[in-house]
Amino acid sequence: MELAALCTDPFVLSCTFLCLLLHLALRSLHTTTSGRRPHPPGPSGIPVLGALPLVGPAPHTGLASLARKHGPVMYLKMGTCGVVVASSPGAARTFLKALDARFANRPAMASAADITYGCQNMVFANYGAKWKLMRKLSSVHLLGPRALADWARVRRDEAGRAVRGMAESARAGRPVAVAELLVCALANIVGQITVSKRVFDAQGDESNSYKEMIVSLLTGTGMFNISDFVPALSWLDLQGVQAKLRRVHSQFDGLITKLLAEHAATAHQRAREGRLDFVDKLRASNDQDEEGETITEVNIKGLIFDMFTAGTDTSSIIVEWAMAEMLKNPSIMARAQEEMDRVVGRERRLEESDIANLPYLQAVCKEAMRLHPSTPLSLPHFSFEECEVDGYRVPANTRLLINIWAIGRDPSAWEEPLEFRPERFLPSGPAAKVDPMGNNFELIPFGAGRRICAGKLAGMLFVQYFLGTLVQGFDWRLPDGEEKVDMGETFGLALPKAVPLRALVTPRLVPDAYA
């Protein structure tokens, strides 16, 4: 149900009136301490809902518009929650570097709890000993440089399957659905390295249903849900978000439970053969750490949930946007392919070791992350302590959102920010030294600070390798009758294309390269 419709519903109006009375009663009990600094500037909003109606259906653009009026550090009252929004590189640096420790927690959110086993995963867990343990084990056994090197064969095999599937589509004259192809491949990679199982035999109805499930979870979690900002109304589930998320999560939990059951049945065989996967290593290392924390079975489910959601759709979204931009700008595609031919040739497929010698491919990936970040708004941070920013007071119990989308389009940080120009990231370009790994706040697709995405290295590798594989292996064109690429967005926790990209491909390597 749209927010505008909610505001005219008699039942909602009654609830709103009761909440307004409660709001006024609580406000009458509150006294302002004289001499205190003001909050950062921001819109005043309306009673009870605060600034929620002002944000609109696409909060990343709505908040960016409000920031142009109120400034890069903006304070909004949303429901009963205080929210501070950072919309410039400097503002992001202040919160994620100078004040990083204070904003390392996550707020309590009904929508997040519904899908993450009560926030027992790494992404939504509060900062503390359990989170540190999950983060450490994930880095050592799955997401760190050594672990990524150990699983290079799996990535190469799945890329090969994807390429063969595309070559078959080319022979049949069928368009390739880019997102569906990538999600199937990436889900199989995650499945093999976590529970030693390819999740899907091939791209089809089963893998497409999985993609729809991921999209529903990310869209629902990213929505500005009234229940998350007015907890007193959460039992009403006014937008139906929680009910939908619980249904989808039940499906996802069924998949995870089935995978873990099959995994347990083959544990002895893997131990004998010495081929332990992520879950095996979690269980093998599950003695108490120095702070007495252990990884529970619920934590294991939560971590698998993180890997499948963050490890599939977010990476595929970036690759799909990059392909869409290159179809819009054929000269960029031609330059990327020329570099591939010069460095790799057409007698073999791209290897991960080639990426270091492909600066233009790297530049295309960075530019896609700048203009189309897979996560447009950071996951919300939360501080229990009051702090001061630019002479303003940010009260305790405030949520923090970093508008990554707005920062990537900030005209004070980027020349011609709305243009897709990979050249800006080349060694001779103005952004040559800007890196997306969290140190340069002009480009933070993975976030920054303590809560930076644990899978940033894996995400960057997936995007570069799979985009390079698609560009090197095939020539691309839109299906007959389609004259331009639809560049509309669908807002959620992630930011996929509103109209999935489909294109006809023609193989450009020697036939043996697709074998």
C-alpha distance from residue 58 to each of 188, 315, 335, 494 (Å): 31, 21, 34, 12
Burial letters for 172-192: b for 16+ Cβ neighbours within 10 Å, e otherwise?
A: eeebbbbbbbbbbbbbbbbbb
Question: Do residues 188 and 158 touch, judged by C-beta distance below 8 A?
Answer: yes
Other C-beta atoms within 10 Å of 237: how many?
Answer: 18
* Beta strands per DSSP E along 39-172: 73-78, 81-86
Q: How many Å apart are CA 502 and CA 480, to the nearest integer? A: 11
Going by C-alpha positions, the residue among 415, 412, 454 that lies closest to residue 437 is 454
DSSP 377: B
Q: How many Å apart are CA 19 and CA 23, to the nearest integer? A: 6
Is 119 part of any known ligand binding site? no
What amino acid is encoded at 26 in this protein? L
Question: Do residues 403 and 86 touch, judged by C-beta distance below 8 A?
Answer: yes
β-strand partners of 507: 474
Q: How many Å apart are CA 162 and CA 277, to the nearest integer? A: 23
In whole angstroms, what separates CA 370 from the centre of its chain?
13
What share of residues in the chain are helix, strand, coil (percent, to 5)?
55, 10, 35
Q: How many Å apart are CA 329 and CA 264, to the nearest integer? A: 49
Strands 81-86 and 398-402 turn out to be parallel
Strand, coil or helix: what is 76?
strand
192's CB contacts (< 8 A; 6+ apart) are: 151, 154, 198, 277
Q: Which sign, positive or negative, has the C-alpha torsion 270, 271, 273, 276? A: positive
Six token digits for residue 184 = 């199937």
Q: How many Å apart are CA 39 and CA 33, to the nearest integer? A: 13
The conformational region for residue 396 under phi > 0 = left, psi -120 to 50 = alpha, else beta, is beta
β-strand partners of 410: none
CA angle, residues 420, 424, 428, in degrees to nearest 5: 155
Other C-beta atoms within 10 Å of 459: how many?
Answer: 22
Binding residues for heme: 453
Binding residues: 453
